Structure formats: C-alpha cells, structure tokens
Amino acid sequence: MSNRALDEQVLSALGIKEEPGEPLGLFFWICVGWVGLNVFGAIFANLLPLPNPLIGNFNAVNVGPGIHHLFGTDDLGRDIFSRVVYGSRVSITVGIGAILIGFGIGAPLGMLAAYRRGRFDAILTTVMYVLLAFPAIIATIAVLSFWTPRSLFKIIVVIGIASIPLVYRVIRTATLSVATKDYVIAAKVQGATDRRILMRELLPNIAPIAVSFFLIGVATVITLEGALAFLGLSVNPPTPSWGNMINEARTVLTQNVWLAFFPSLALCLFLIALNFIGDRIRSHFDVTEVKL
Amino acid sequence: MSDEKLLVVKDLTTTFATAGGELTAVAHVSFDLDRNETLGIVGESGSGKTVLSRTIMGLQPRVNTTVTGSSIIDGFEVVGSSENEKRTIWGTEVAMVFQDPMTSLNPVMRIGKQIDEALRVRLGMNRKDAKARAIELLELVGIPSPVQRYHAYPGQLSGGMRQRVVIAIALACSPKLLMADEPTTGLDVTIQAQILNLLDELKERLKMSVILVTHDLGVVATRTSRIAVMYAGRIVETGTTRDVFHHHRMPYTRALLESSPKVSNKSHTRLVTIPGRPPNLLNLSPGCSFAPRCKYATDQCHLVRPELQPSIEPGHTFACWNPLPVNSEATLS
C-alpha cells in the first residue's frame, strides 16, 4: 500500500474529513483570463503595436470593422480598438483606485464599529447611513462640476470618498456576524488584545466577503465612471475612456453604430467578468458548517 | 495563600437593560469555591447559569449590562475591573470551555496556531517552544498523532476532537479555574462521557478547580463535589452532591431530579415533566419564582421571597418556605 493511501486511511479512521471547497469551474477561469487580459492591455498599452489613439487618419473615417482597423475607426479616423484598449486604463485605474480609498477608510471603520459596538458604532453608523441616503452619483456630479480642472486623481478621490459608506456597511455587517461567535469570545478570554482579535480572528473570517465586495465594488465604480464620462464629467477628451467614447459615439450613432458598440461591449464584458469572479470567490471560500 | 478560597462570589447581580425593561438574569448569587474542587451549576434553560458563569469571569456584553456585587478570583476583584485589567487573569487564572465546539474554534486558523497564540502572547514563548508545548497539550487532551493534527483546520476534525482542542486551548496558560459551560451539550453521548472523564482527569492532574455548568444532572452526579441549583437567576439550593441528590429540601430540585429519564425505567414510561414554564424574568413575582409551578406553594410563597437557609447537613442550604421533610429520599433509583 502506498504511503498516500495509508495516510488517507489513517485520516479517515481519525475522523478527518476532506477539505471542503467547491470547484471554481471553467467559466470562473475564463473570467479571470478576461480580466487579466484587460488589465494587461491597460498596463502595457503603449508597448503594444497599436495605432496612436489620439491621432486620426482622415483617409479612413468611420470605417467599419476590418483588417486594417479591427474595430473600425471613429468620425475623426481614430482606431477604435486602440481607443478601447487605452480607454480601459482610465476605467480600471478609477475602479481600483477609488475602491482602494473606500476600503482604506471604510473597512477599518466598519470592523471597529462592529467589534466595539456602543456609542462609537451608533454615531458612525448613523453618519454613514445619512451619507448613503444621498445618491452617490448626484454628489459626485456636484463635486466634479465645481472642482476643476478635472483630473484622474480628483475623480478617483471623489468616487473613493463616495464609496466609503458602501464599504463600511458591508464590512460592518460581515464583522457583526463574526464578532459574536464563540471563537472570538474564546480568544478574548485567553487574553488576546483587541488588535489581535481584529487582525487574527475577525479579518481572516470576513476576507472572502471583503474580496468579493472589492471586485463588485470595482465594477460598480467603473459603471459610475462610465456614467460620469457619459455626462462629460470624467477625464477630458481626447483621452479615451469607455464612458466618454460611448458619449462621443452618441452623436454619430446613426452613421456608425460600431463606435458605440465596442466600448459598450468592453465595459459590459469586463463588468460581467468581475461580478462573476466576486460571486464565485465568495461561495468558494464560504466556510459554513453546513458544508462540513 | 493556598488556604484561601480560589473563588469568592458575593451578592453577584447581573442586569440587562432591554427594550422590555430591566432584566435581572443573575440575582444576589453568593458562593465560594475551594482549590481543586468541582462545583456543578445546574438549572434549566434560561435560569441564568451561562450569564452567571460569564459574569464570574467578567465576560459580559459591553453595553446595556450592569453588574453589582463581587467576584474575586484568587484575590482579583473582577467586578468593576477594566478589560485591560481582566486580561491579566483571563487565560492564566481562569479559562473557559465553550458549549459548542463547532463555533468556538476559528474556522480559518490551524488548530495548532490557535493554541500557540495564547502561549506566545501571554507567556512570551518563542515560536519553537510554543509549538512543542502546543503539541504536548494536544497529546494531554488525548488527540492521536498530535504532530499531524497541529496543522489541521477545525473543519477537518470531528466534534469530540474539536472539544478536546478547545480544552487544550483553555489549558494553555495553566489556569487555576476552568469554567466549562455545558461542555458536552453539542456532542453525542459516548463522546460526552469521554470529554467529562478527560476534564475530571485533567482537573486532578493539573490541580485545577472546575465549575461545570449544565442542565444535565447525570453530568454532575459523579463528577462534582458540590452542586448549586439555579432557578430564575437565583441559587435555590446548594450543598454537597450527595446532599443535593439525596437530602434535597427544595421542591424544584426534586422536580428537576424526577424529570431526568432513567435507564432502569420500562420502555414507554412517560417522562415526568415540570408543569408550567420558566418565569418571565422581566416580570417576576415578589415571592418565590418557582411558586407558580410548585405543588406545595402557599400564599406566603407567592408574596414573600424565601432566602437561603441552612439545612441540617453542613454547607447545605435551600430557599423554600415549605421545604421537603429532612429525610425525604427522592424517587430516584
């Protein structure tokens, strides 16, 4: 009998069960590949053999998809494929940057509030819910209309701040459900400090929810950036972003439908992939006793 | 120092401010505990056993809770101490074994690490010593091949194994007092006996005192030296295990004893139950809380609350206006 078979026999005799964890599935990896490809394109856009996204070729205006221009060209003769790839830079940077701000501030506050409870929690939660009641899109539109000239940095900061209450609410709720578990009390009566309990007991247990919300948050922010760009409140043209490409395409929709189609498709597929990954991660790492 | 009582609880009262008003979960409880002694706290659900055991070690919710009285563990006054102060006795003086081993272990941390934690943080051991000690502890609580199990996650262990790990964690810093809050309720019967025997054995070996909180009289019968019976947040009878089982005076104790099923009964014997329901703690009568369910209750019982009074045996007290006669053997086998 091989060692491994013997090991397994010993394990089962000792009542040791197989590791849980349901398979992530092929579609999950396709989504990961897609997101990876987009991120790769965004990072290395200027190293890839792409036409300049800002300079048009007036001999080829409003060309449909073809050999020379994969996705066709716009009304200024700029290559749409190149603009979609470059456009992902803005969308992905804003998406990740803003959510990092949201998590950087919202997550520690949410954990602390759920762990400490009492007055600290009551005041903070009230403030966050008041902020949450105010539509984020209106707030960001208002701030970005006045805070000019607009830059990528300002957009990230404004959306980032707007996302704090959302992150706070999710992390606080997730922590609440863990903080009352016996193992947290058990750690406490072993003399663990608050910091240790937050970092070692609570954080690893809310990590799956946090990671999945992070990805879904990135998707939400990208949508928000798209909406702002559509209203002309994101980065200034001619810098492409998926949102402002759709906005520009609006005026020539009857002449060249591809101009709106490709950035929309890119946005849509990227968001679907992100949401699916987030969802799978949550259910894959969800260590509930039911499954054991 | 060693002659001194390990635990002295005096007039301990825990009150929760709830939406429905003040709820007194533990009322004026006093008792003490010698070194290397096992005390059983018995009562039905909602009688305040768990709140009592948690209040003794100072583990009550931070909000909406008022604790008065005194609980002194080895010279340390728990009531009124801050969490930072209590942290100095948690783990090293008093430790706790929880009811449900399914929820009292962190599911995402290897069990070895969970034992290590306390050793490294509280006792300042280095990584290597802590690991060696953790494996020793796993062996002590009877976990086979502890070196391999050290790396296991809680999800890979069965319920009984997990409870052994929980006990190992509790013992990590060699506490003088071990609180076991229904340590076997989440386990099946054969494992229950194993865990209780283990606790018993460890108590002797490590010279600890144990407080065993349970609703199961079978659990306390052979393993405790004294028993306190709780009802509606109060101790209604206390004495040596023998006295409580055989010379009890309080009708509630008898009712509790009578309602445990006996193996010697013929099959299909109807289980004796206590009529009525436990009292609503928000709305207690001025009299004896058990009076509405007691067949011996008189007007006095409903109006005036009886205090604990001594019975004839030393150390045996009960709270009842119409106690059972002194030599009343319960209808027990």
pLDDT in tens, B236-275: 999 998 888 888 888 898 888 888 777 777 888 788 888 8
Burial track B234-270 (b if 16+ CB lie within 10 A, e otherwise):
bbbbbbbbebbbbbbbbbbbbbbbeeeeeeeeeeeee
- CA distances to A86, B120, B324 from A89, rounded to whole Å, are 5, 46, 85
* Contact (CB<8Å) B98/A185: yes
Size of interface A-B (CB pairs under 8 A): 99
Average pLDDT, chain A: 82
pLDDT-derived band of residue A111, with 50, 70 and 90 as boundaries? Answer: very high
* Residues in chain A within 8 Å Cβ distance of B98: 182, 185-186
Between CA A185 and CA A176 the distance in angstroms is 13
Chain A residue closest in CA terms to B169: A190
For residue A103, what pLDDT is reported? 94
For residue B219, the model assigns a pLDDT of: 79
ipTM of predicted complex:
0.73
pLDDT for A33 equals 92
Tokens of A290: 């039911």
B107 upstream amide cis, omega within 30 of 0? no
- The whole-angstrom separation of Cα B14 and Cα B24 is 6
Give the three-state DSSP class for A261. Answer: helix
Q: Which position has the higher pLDDT, A258 or A20?
A: A258
Q: Hey, CA dihedral for A167, A168, A169, A172, is it positive or negative? A: positive
What are the tens digits of pLDDT across the range B98-147?
888 888 888 888 888 888 888 888 888 888 888 998 998 898 888 888 89
Task: Supply A40's token pair.
Answer: 């790769």
Predicted confidence band of residue A18 (pLDDT cuts 50, 70, 90): very low
For the cut 80, the answer to whether the pLDDT of residue A71 exceeds it is: no
Q: What is the DSSP letter of A55?
A: S
CA–CA gap between residue A59 and residue B203 (Å, rounded): 92
Question: Please, are residues B256 and B44 in contact by the beta-carbon 8 Å criterion?
Answer: yes
> What is the chain A residue with the closest CA to B155?
A292
Question: What does the pLDDT average to over A106-110?
Answer: 93
b/e code A116-148 from CB counts within 10 Å (16+ = b): bbeeebeebbeebeebbeeebeeebeebbeeee
Residue B209 φ/ψ, nearest 5 degrees? -105, 150
% of chain A at pLDDT higher than 70: 88
pLDDT at A279: 84
Q: In what order do the strands lie in the sheet with B7-18?
A: B21-33, B7-18, B65-73, B76-77
- Residues A186, B102: C-beta atoms closer than 8 Å: no
Among the partner-chain residues B98, B100, B106, the one whose CB lies closest to the CB of A201 is B106
Report d(CA A220, CA A218) in Å as an integer: 5
**Over 70: is that where the pLDDT of A15 sits?**
no
Name the nearest CA neighbour of A32 among A285, A274, A282, A216.
Answer: A274
- Per-residue confidence (pLDDT) for residue A290, from 0 to 100: 45
In chain A, whose CA is at the least distance from the CA of B148?
Answer: A11
A258-284 vs A80-116: helix axis angle to the nearest 10? 30
- Mean pLDDT over A32-43 rounds to 90
Distance from CA of A282 to the nearest CA of B (A): 14
B156:A118 CB<8 A:
no
What local confidence, expressed as pLDDT, does residue A10 receive? 53
| pLDDT tens by residue, chain B, 333 residues | 445 788 999 999 999 888 888 888 898 999 989 888 899 999 888 888 888 988 998 887 777 888 999 999 988 898 888 888 888 888 888 998 888 888 888 888 888 888 888 888 888 888 888 899 899 889 888 888 889 889 988 888 888 888 889 988 888 888 899 998 888 877 788 888 888 888 888 888 888 999 999 888 887 888 889 999 999 889 999 999 888 888 888 889 888 888 877 777 788 878 888 888 888 888 888 888 888 888 888 888 888 888 888 888 888 999 988 888 876 554 443
Among A52-66, A208-222, B44-58, B207-221, the range scoring the smallest mean pLDDT is: A52-66
pLDDT at A5: 53
Mutant choice from B156, B164, B181 vs A, greatest count of A C-beta within 10 A:
B156
B75 is written with which tokens? 């010279």
Q: Is the pLDDT of residue A291 over 50?
A: no
For residue B266, the Cα-to-chain-centroid distance in whole angstroms is 32
Helices A242-250 & A203-230 angle (0-180, nearest 10):
30
Strands B177-181 and B309-310, how do they pair? unpaired
* A151 band by pLDDT with thresholds 50, 70 and 90: confident
Q: How far is B58 from chain A (nearest CA, A)?
A: 9
Determine the Cα–Cα distance for residues A242 and A260; give it in Å rounded to an integer: 9
Q: Which residues contact A191 (CB under 8 A, 6 or more apart)?
A: B87, B88, B90, B91, B92, B118, B121, B122, B173
Task: Please report residues of B whose CB lies closer than 8 A to that of A16.
Answer: 152, 156-157
